[in-house]
Structure 1
């Protein structure tokens, strides 16, 4: 194991990462689940901002390893059977998947879809490859230490690497439906979106839901949980249509098709980065290089 990486990602930081990105505390039961959803997805959180300087050195180190020289991520974690394993694994998931999205700007955003998305997906798959009773995505791993509301947030967070990766949409659907079943069976309900394909597979569903700012009205764990699952589902239609997320084309140096440009216009949500950012990314790709993470105007480096 890379000793430097171990020192950069100690158990205390993994614990803090899990706590920073979760909208509620571990044992908290939340009457207004919608408020927690909005806090997690749309609010600027001081806890997340505070962890940036602690996480950035680890992200920089990982960026230098290269896809062929990644560590065994489990070596950073306690034994799989440990009571601490689910929370530590959640913290590492947040660092690999959410931290790049939250912290990278400008040309650094190429590192999100072009590098860290594959790393976080690999880690997510390794967690799902554990036997069902040991997976940190199982309610059995949380039921004695956390509320069901916290578990749903945690399980959604474990699932985002599948949704974020352009090559894992089928895995994302299986995972999301398993999460949906957890809620349905616990509360003896059925998610109405199962019978609403025009909404579930709306090509513009993702920008519509994000633009809405979250679920409205009196929102409990059932309604709020189903809203989150719909948000996961509506990532799939653009992948089915285009084979990729068009809004990533700018940061991955890809040419837009006419259909993709029309979709982005219809969405009315996604904004192109400055031309200079696009030029720098394309120049790097053409030269077969990556500008070092944080090399352009990042105050943490």
Structure 2
């Protein structure tokens, strides 16, 4: 049997009418552009510091990020991939586009809201396996211990290959109640215990 090596690309459901504007503002086709951009970037870009990728992400989706932050795309919640687009725009996008600033975390709470909706709506099972963890990352990025433990449970159930990362984040919050590496960006004083941890190469999360 022939093996398909290329990932499937999500195509927004057709209403039956021909839409000549494939990325009409607010449409599922617009949401599709986010998912496809992120998928095409792949793991080498997802978790690396790359100024060129950050700039490309920022140039392509800044307006859409702020539209999502203003809750102008809430109607995307009912579609698995469009909901994932919201999560990417509010959780991953800021970490690339606003790297090194407090705005990296400005939309985290809304991203968690959408992520919880995605889980409750059982969207996860409809997503490609490689993209599923991005639904859970808003909980991994949370400084709330309840969210962290929930994240560990989600990874254990849906993405066990990456469970260790979830457990590492959870342990940091159990120990410090926050991520020490964020202190400078958020204007927080670093405790001696946190500084010792950071000086020792503490996991940045």
Quickly name the TM-score band, shorter chain normalised.
0.7 to 0.9
Q: Show the counterpart of 1:98.
A: 92
Provide closer, same or farther for how the CA distance between residues 105 and 40 of structure 1 changes in structure 2, counting only shifts above 3 A: closer
1:267 aligned counterpart, secondary structure: coil
| 2:155 paired with 1:176 | yes
Distance (Å, rounded) in 2 between the aligned partners of 1:45 and 1:13: 25
| Structure-2 change in CA distance of 1:45 and 1:234 (3 Å) | same
Q: What is the CA distance between 1:268 and its match in structure 2?
A: 6.5
Which of 121, 124, 131 is 1:154 aligned to? 131
Checking the alignment, whether the CA contact within 8 Å between 2:76 and 2:83 is kept in structure 1 is: no
1:116-143 Cα offsets, whole Å, 9 max, x none, are 111100111112222xxxx2211xx25x
Q: Partners in 2 of 1:13 and 1:71 — Cα distance?
A: 13
- Equivalent residues, number: 180
Give the conservation status (yes or no) of the 8 Å contact 1:166–1:244. yes
How far is 1:38 from its partner? 3.9
Q: 1:240 deviation in Å? A: 0.6
Higher alpha-carbon Rg: 1
Distance in 2 (CA, whole Å) between partners of 1:97 and 1:137 is 17
Separation of aligned partners in 2, 1:154 and 1:124: 13
Unaligned stretches of 5+ in structure 2? 1-23
TM-score (norm 1): 0.52
1:19 to 33, 36, 52: 36
The yes-or-no answer on 1:58 pairing with 2:81 is: no
Q: 1:178 to 1:268 in 2, by over 3 A?
A: closer
For the residue of structure 2 that corresponds to 1:166, the secondary structure is coil
Answer whether contact 1:8 1:57 (CA < 8 A) is retained. no
- Residue in structure 2 matched with residue 229 of structure 1 by the alignment: 163
Contact 1:22 1:40 (C-alpha < 8 Å) held by counterparts: no
Superimposed CA distance per residue, residues 136-179 of structure 1 (whole angstroms, 9 cap, x where no aligned partner): 211xx25xxxxxxxx22211111111101111111111111112
Let me know the Cα RMSD of the aligned residues: 2.9
Relative distance call for 1:12 and 1:164 in structure 2 (3 A) is: same
